Every structure is written in structure tokens, then in C-alpha cells.
């Protein structure tokens, strides 16, 4: 039993440590949780994407991506464009005369919500650094027989985090019943997105090194 619990716990803790950070994807999941829009589908997408990327990293894809610095540059530029666009949209919402009500749900279709989730997940170079390269390296260091257990632990942490973030956001709904709170959230989201976009552009201009 111990030989299974150790890689399971290692994968869970390492994945949890990497994923619990203020980033574009987490902010988007939080915002959708507050709006109660397609939370289950978004949580399922984020958790599944992480599980697949971690499994791919452990299987050796991480080493392949590390040998292609040009791909990292393209991802950085694509991610910067996406984050910049979303950041501007958030600032426009913040500056709008009418504030978003906490119950203003139904404005985003499932398809658009999933497309945005895919953008935050797959156009972020950090997701490949964390889930594919770093988690892949850690998983590859495990004995081959227990690598699937390591991946399962890491995936469990991802699903648990996104579920807590998406469904736990309702605890903040009394605070976000005030229009000013939505303006503060959108201002913060916009600034974070634009800052991340700028950092990605700088990374691309400086090259893979």
C-alpha cells in the first residue's frame, strides 16, 4: 500500500503547489463561478486538460517540447494576444456605466465559455512548463510501474482545485452583490491579463534563452 500512496501523494502535492497561484486560468474559473455559468463544464475541461498534459509529460512529450524553442515563442505570442484581448474586455466592463449584476448569467454560451477556457489553458506557455515539463520530469523519475499512480494523484489535485474554485466562488456572492465589487474584480482581472500578456511578449522577444 505504501508504494502506491507515496507516488499518489507526491503527484497530488506537486500539482497542487503549482496550480494554486493567481493566474489567468484561475481568475477566469473564479469569475465564471461567481456568475454560475457553465461551472461544471469548465471545471471538467480544466481538470481533464491538466490530466492529459501531465500524462503526456510523463510519457516523454516534455523532452520533445524542450527541444523546440521556436514552439515556445509561438505559444508566447499567441497567448499574449489572447490575454491582451481578454484584459481589454475586462477593463471595458469595469468602465461601463452599468455594472454587472451578480445574477447576470446566461450571457455566455457553453461553446464560448469552453473556447475561452481552452484559450486560457492551451495558449498559456506556463501550463506547458508546469504540467508537461516539470510534472513530466518529476513523474519520469518515478519507477515505471507507479507512474500512472503519480499522474492520478496530480490529476486529482487539479480536479479538486478547479472544483473548489468554481463551486466555492458562490461563498463570495454576497460580497459581489454590490456593483462596485464587480468593477474591482474586472479591474484586477484586466490588469493581471495585460501584465501577463506583456511578460509573454518580452519572453518571446528575448528568445528561448
For 104-124, write each residue's pLDDT tens digit: 445 678 999 999 999 989 888
Mean pLDDT of the 141-160 span? 91
Say yes or no to pLDDT of 145 above 80: yes
Residue 22 pLDDT grade (very low, low, confident, very high; cuts 50, 70, 90): low
Residue 62 pLDDT grade (very low, low, confident, very high; cuts 50, 70, 90): low
Say yes or no to pLDDT of 47 above 90: yes
Mean pLDDT of the 180-201 span? 81
Query: Up-side HSE of residue 144: CA atoms within 13 Å toward CB?
Result: 2
Q: Which of 52, 48, 26 is nearest to 135 (CA)?
A: 52
| Residue 109 CA, distance from chain mean position | 20
Say yes or no to pLDDT of 52 above 90: yes
Residue 93 pLDDT grade (very low, low, confident, very high; cuts 50, 70, 90): confident
Q: What is the pLDDT of residue 1?
A: 57
Q: What is the pLDDT of residue 60?
A: 78
Say yes or no to pLDDT of 46 above 60: yes
**CB neighbours of residue 176 within 10 Å:** 20
Q: Which residues contact 149 (CB under 8 A, 6 or more apart)?
A: 4, 7, 8, 11
Q: What is the pLDDT of residue 17?
A: 80
Mean pLDDT of the 146-167 span? 94
Mean pLDDT of the 28-37 span? 90
Q: What are the tens digits of pLDDT across the range 2-12?
A: 578 888 998 89
CA distance 169 to 194: 23
Say yes or no to pLDDT of 97 above 50: no
Q: What is the pLDDT of residue 112?
A: 92
Residue 127 pLDDT grade (very low, low, confident, very high; cuts 50, 70, 90): confident
CA distance 55 to 147: 9
Average predicted confidence (pLDDT) for the chain: 82
Say yes or no to pLDDT of 99 above 60: no
Amino acid at each position: 500500500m505504501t508504494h502506491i500512496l507515496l507516488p499518489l501523494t507526491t503527484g497530488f502535492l506537486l500539482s497542487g503547489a503549482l496550480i494554486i497561484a493567481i493566474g489567468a486560468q484561475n481568475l477566469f474559473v473564479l469569475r465564471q463561478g461567481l456568475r454560475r455559468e457553465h461551472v461544471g463544464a469548465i471545471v471538467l475541461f480544466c481538470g481533464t486538460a491538466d490530466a492529459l498534459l501531465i500524462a503526456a509529460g510523463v510519457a516523454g512529450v516534455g523532452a520533445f517540447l524542450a527541444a523546440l524553442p521556436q514552439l515556445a515563442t509561438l505559444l508566447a505570442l499567441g497567448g499574449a494576444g489572447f490575454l491582451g484581448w481578454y484584459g481589454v474586455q475586462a477593463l471595458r466592463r469595469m468602465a461601463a456605466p452599468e455594472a454587472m449584476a451578480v445574477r447576470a448569467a446566461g450571457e455566455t454560451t457553453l461553446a464560448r465559455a469552453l473556447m475561452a477556457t481552452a484559450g486560457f489553458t492551451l495558449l498559456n506557455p506556463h501550463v506547458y512548463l508546469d504540467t508537461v515539463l516539470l510534472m513530466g520530469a518529476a513523474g519520469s523519475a518515478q519507477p515505471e510501474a507507479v507512474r500512472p499512480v503519480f499522474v492520478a494523484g496530480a490529476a486529482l489535485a487539479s480536479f479538486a482545485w478547479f472544483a473548489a474554485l468554481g463551486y466555492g466562488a458562490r461563498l463570495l456572492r454576497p460580497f459581489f452583490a454590490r456593483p462596485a465589487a464587480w468593477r474591482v474584480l474586472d479591474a484586477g482581472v484586466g490588469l493581471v491579463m495585460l501584465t501577463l500578456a506583456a511578460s509573454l511578449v518580452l519572453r518571446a522577444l528575448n528568445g528561448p534563452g
